[in-house]
Amino acid sequence: MMKEVRAVIEKMKALYPNWIQDIRELPLQDIVIRVAAADVHEITDWLLKNSNYYHLSTITGLDNGEQIEIYYHFWDGNGLSLHTMLPRELPSMNTITDLIPGASFYEREVFEMLGVKFEDLDDSRRLLMADDWDGQYFPLRSDTKDSPKEEQK
């Protein structure tokens, strides 16, 4: 299992050496490679055409205080995740919904939670937040304080 994912990474390194900035192994048999945000679309395209890594489990976004980190979790017997960093002001990325249509739900959620704009995302309707939310705050940003609750009745 780990052999196969390592073989894929070696092939990637041989063909496109400047894609991979860092490799680390996580417990429970997952490998994370750090890549540049602008390369994610190309790498996804290469993975879909040249390996069995077509299943995108999810896109995780998190705010570590200084930067916004995005993970793309792929799976084929072993996990392979792409990890990229974005600046906190006006973070934006290219969408991968032209390659994987199912990623639109993941990207809409990352936008609502962290404010990351995905260029050319066809479907930017509200997913999880309420209709009266208009981007006033993003729940998972580290500088979001709990918003005051309105009086009901």
Partner 1 sequence: MTRFKVPIGPQHSLLKEPLSFLLTLEGEKVVESVLRMGYVHRGIERLSQTRSYIQNVHLFERVCGICSHIHTTTFCMGVEALSGITVPPRGQYLRTFFCELERIHSHLLWLGVLAKNTGFDTIFMFSWRDREIVMDLMEELSGGRVSHAANVIGGVRVDINDSQRKRMTQNLKSLSQKIDSLQGVVEHETSFQVRTRNVGTLTARQIRQYCVVGPIARASNVDVDMRRDAPYGAYDKLAFSVITRPEGDVWARTMLRIQEAQESLKMCLQILDELPPGDVAVPAKRRVPPGEVICRTEAPRGELLYYIRSDGSENPARVKVRTPTLTALATLPDQLGNVNMADVSVVVSGVDLCIACADR
Partner 2 sequence: MSATVLEKVLRWARRKSPWILHFNSGGCNGCDIEILDLLTPRYDVERLGILQESVPRHADILLCTGPVTRQSRDRLRQIYNQIPEPKWVVVVGSCGCSGGVFQGSENVMGGVDQVIPVDLYIPGCPCRPEIIIEGLSKLLEKI
Alpha carbons 37 and 105: distance in angstroms, whole number: 19
Find the part of the chain contacting partner 1 (CB under 8 A) among 7-15, 33-41, 74-82, 86-94: 74-82
Q: Which of 112, 100, 58 is nearest to 82 (CA)?
A: 58
Alpha carbons 3 and 67: distance in angstroms, whole number: 32
Q: Report the alpha-carbon angle 131-132-135, nearest 5.
A: 100
Task: Report the site for partner 1 in 129-148 (rule: CB under 8 A).
Answer: 129-130, 139-140
81 lies in the binding site for partner 1 (CB under 8 A): yes
What letter does residue 140 receive in the DSSP assignment? T
Question: What residue ranges bind partner 2 (CB under 8 A)?
Answer: 129-133, 137, 139, 146-147, 149, 152-153
Contact residues: partner 1, CB under 8 A: 26-30, 32, 54-58, 60, 62, 64, 71, 73, 75, 77, 79, 81, 100-106, 113, 126-130, 139-140
